[in-house]
Chains A and B, each alone.
Chain A
Amino acid sequence: LAKTTQPISMDSYEGQEVNITCSHNNIATNDYITWYQQFPSQGPRFIIQGYKTKVTNEVASLFIPADRKSSTLSLPRVSLSDTAVYYCLVGPSLNTGTASKLTFGTGTRLQVTL
């Protein structure tokens, strides 16, 4: 399973854009990159998923360079309610027909203040 490396923590002020970068040097050809958000005492919430280049949805953007060895989650204009732990995971895999295991790293603890 591909291992990911993220900063342990980040601080931001409300209204700023936050970019969290994740390294996944041994990502396999079939692997997707998935980001989850977790609040205390809650299950992780799916944020965004991508394979290459850029993906954008209503809450975030995901930038993936051509070599796919890293990815950056971009949160535009964060608010206090975005304070959470953000996990970058490699998986699931393409076209497997079944769900593949996810290995959670330490995640990035984002603290947003006024």
Chain B
Amino acid sequence: GAVVSQHPSWVICKSGTSVKIECRSLDFQATTMFWYRQFPKQSLMLMATSNEGSKATYEQGVEKDKFLINHASLTLSTLTVTSAHPEDSSFYICSASGGAPGRTDTQYFGPGTRLTVL
């Protein structure tokens, strides 16, 4: 139980294009989803928190117009990197919480998406 998937697992795009990453909770309903970014050899950095049906809350320093987050249902959240640039190249990881076996507010993580912007 408590499985979270991400799609795509990796993506390469040209500078200036937009990329959408999907995060799905497969066997539970996620009232809250989180988006993290991780650079090589570094820890995870929280980008934003999204609750189903409401606007995402972004961490300080994260541009909300660049990183669009939509949490339209209890099993799906999307992160769109708009006008991507090489410095946006990173490993993006989502987590989902709510309703999973065990504690209802434990975060379960997806496998991550490797974004490379040329």
Contacts and interface: CB of A to CB of B under 8 A. Distances in A.
Contacts of B72: none
Contact of B114 (A32, A41, A105): A41
Interface stretch (A16-24, A65-73, A75-83, A91-99): A91-99
Contacts of B108: 46
A41 B103 contact: no
14 contacts: A43-B111, A44-B109, A46-B2, A46-B109, A92-B106, A92-B107, A93-B105, A96-B105, A99-B49, A102-B34, A102-B107, A103-B46, A104-B44, A107-B43
Contacts of A97: 105
B106 A45 contact: no
Q: Chain B interface mostly helix, strand, loop or mixed?
A: strand
Given A41-B114, A92-B97, A92-B103, A104 B109 contact: no
A106 interface: yes
Contacts of B34: 99, 101-102
Nearest to B114: A41
Q: Chain A interface mostly helix, strand, loop or mixed?
A: loop
Interface of B: 2, 4, 6, 31-32, 34, 36, 43-46, 49, 51, 91, 93-95, 97-98, 102-103, 105-112, 114
Interface of A: 32, 34, 36, 41-46, 49, 87, 92-93, 96-107
Highest count of chain A CB atoms <10 Å: which of B98, B103, B105, B112: B105
Contacts of A103: 46
Contacts of B4: 43
A92 B49 CA distance: 14
Given A44-B44, A104-B45, A99 B105 contact: yes
